[in-house]
Amino acid sequence: MKTGRFAPSPTGRMHLGNLFTALLSWLSVRKAGGRWILRIEDLDPQRSRMEYARQIEDDLDWLGLSWDEGGVDGSGSHGPYCQSMRHDIYAGALDSLVATGLTYPCYCRRADILATQAPHQSDGRVIYAGTCRPRHLPVSGLADSGRPASTRICVPDEEIGFVDGVFGRRTANLTQECGDFVLRRADGAWAYQLAVVVDDAMMGVTEVVRGCDLLLSTAQQLYLYRLSGWTAPDYAHVPLLCNAAGQRLSKRDMSLNMAQLRTRFTPGQIIGRLAALAGLISGPESCRADELVGIFDWNRVPAVPSVIVE
Ligand code: GLU
């Protein structure tokens, strides 16, 4: 059965871009008669708040995007559905990855890593230079030196390819894109890359829909699927919504967040606007989400990195 999920981080009120992702994932699943999971990605304890998670639920309800499993109260057989409650599951998965001999403790601080960056690395991406990578692999277990260390995984120098539902064939070489990446931080926090793979695999997710800012993460995640022996889902990355100034919408910027939108528009007007941006209808006329199920088609979604909304 097709299983999709919406995996918001409860770090603020949702904006139109978050809703765009939610709507397209929901439509794709509903069209296939599948199951839609709401997973709360509250890995960052400093920024995540349960009240935001409750607002996300309320906003999805208001828009008519119903979920079959998950949410804060976590009904369903694959819970818990809040990442903050899944520590033991991530620990088990990390043990299996450590057993591959490809992980190692890393003592570099962020400042050290930035200091080793090539000057052309101007897009904010950080490529780990492998400072702590052991000379000989595989590594047997993680030696405990008593110092706090993050856990990194060695990446291969090869192209990892996949076919994205919107952007088509993509390939990435992890050595060039990010270098060995972190699975668990030195403060014990789980890295997004590990948690998202474990959760999607354990929850039986077959289709991941998310913003195209995460396109580059997909190869890292496919690599973890491969090492863990799990079947990877299909991926569809959707354009990011930007404001009139061309900046990507953010939860910090109040203009197009749900608190504002709900005072100015009906659910139908918001759904209609998103459906027009997705190429599903020609103009932003008001409609309900369930009215779009029949016409939903990934081929209509524009394969562009961003779309401006006024
Ligand atoms: N939690 C991420 C976000 O809110 C989404 C991660 C994903 O869908 O893989 O942007």
pLDDT for the residue 220: 98
pLDDT tens digits for 177-236? 999 999 999 999 999 999 999 999 999 999 999 999 999 999 999 999 999 999 999 999
Instruction: Evaluate: CB of 17 within 6 angstroms of ligand 1.
Output: no
Residue 164 domain-assigned (yes or no): no
Q: Is the pLDDT of residue 135 over 80?
A: yes
Distance CA 36, CA 238 (A): 17
Considering its fold, how many domains does the chain have in total? 1
Tell the residue number behind the tokens 């088609």, with chain if given: 297
Residue 161 domain-assigned (yes or no): no
Residue 272 domain-assigned (yes or no): yes
The Å distance, Cα 41 to ligand 1 centre, comes to 7
pLDDT for the residue 137: 81
The Å distance, Cα 208 to ligand 1 centre, comes to 10
Which one is predicted more confidently, 115 or 2?
2
Tokens of 202: 């354990």
The Å distance, Cα 170 to ligand 1 centre, comes to 20
Instruction: Evaluate: CB of 200 within 6 angstroms of ligand 1.
Output: no
pLDDT for the residue 123: 67
Residue 208 domain-assigned (yes or no): no
The Å distance, Cα 8 to ligand 1 centre, comes to 5
In the structure, what pLDDT confidence band is assigned to residue 155 with cuts at 50, 70 and 90? very high
Residue 266 domain-assigned (yes or no): yes
Which one is predicted more confidently, 137 or 123?
137
Distance CA 296, CA 299 (A): 9
In the structure, what pLDDT confidence band is assigned to residue 111 with cuts at 50, 70 and 90? confident
In the structure, what pLDDT confidence band is assigned to residue 122 with cuts at 50, 70 and 90? low
pLDDT tens digits for 18-70? 999 999 999 999 999 999 999 999 999 999 999 999 999 999 999 999 999 99
Q: What mean pLDDT is reported for the chain? A: 93
Q: pTM here?
A: 0.95
Q: Is the pLDDT of residue 143 over 90?
A: no
The Å distance, Cα 147 to ligand 1 centre, comes to 31
Residue 96 domain-assigned (yes or no): no
Q: Which atom of ligand 1 is the closest one to the Cα of 21?
A: 8
pLDDT tens digits for 287-305? 999 999 999 999 999 999 9
Instruction: Evaluate: CB of 5 within 6 angstroms of ligand 1.
Output: no
Q: Is the pLDDT of residue 119 over 80?
A: no
Instruction: Evaluate: CB of 38 within 6 angstroms of ligand 1.
Output: no
Q: Which atom of ligand 1 is the closest one to the Cα of 217?
A: 9
Instruction: Evaluate: CB of 197 within 6 angstroms of ligand 1.
Output: no
Residue 22 domain-assigned (yes or no): yes
Domain range for residue 61?
A: 3-84+239-307
Residue type, 282: S
Residue type, 257: N
Q: Which atom of ligand 1 is the closest one to the Cα of 210?
A: 8
Instruction: Evaluate: CB of 41 within 6 angstroms of ligand 1.
Output: yes
Instruction: Evaluate: CB of 214 within 6 angstroms of ligand 1.
Output: yes
pLDDT tens digits for 248-299? 998 877 778 999 999 999 999 999 999 999 999 998 899 999 999 999 999 9
pLDDT for the residue 18: 96
Closest residue to atom 6 of ligand 1, CA basis: 7
What CATH number should be reported for the domain holding residue 261?
A: 3.40.50.620
Strands 168-173 and 103-106: unpaired
Q: Which positions ≥6 away from 294 have C-beta within 8 Å? A: 31
Distance CA 97, CA 92 (A): 9
CA 20 → CA 139, 242, 278, distances in Å? 43, 12, 8
pLDDT tens digits for 70-105? 999 998 999 999 999 999 999 999 999 999 999 999
Residue 203 domain-assigned (yes or no): no
Distance CA 100, CA 228 (A): 9
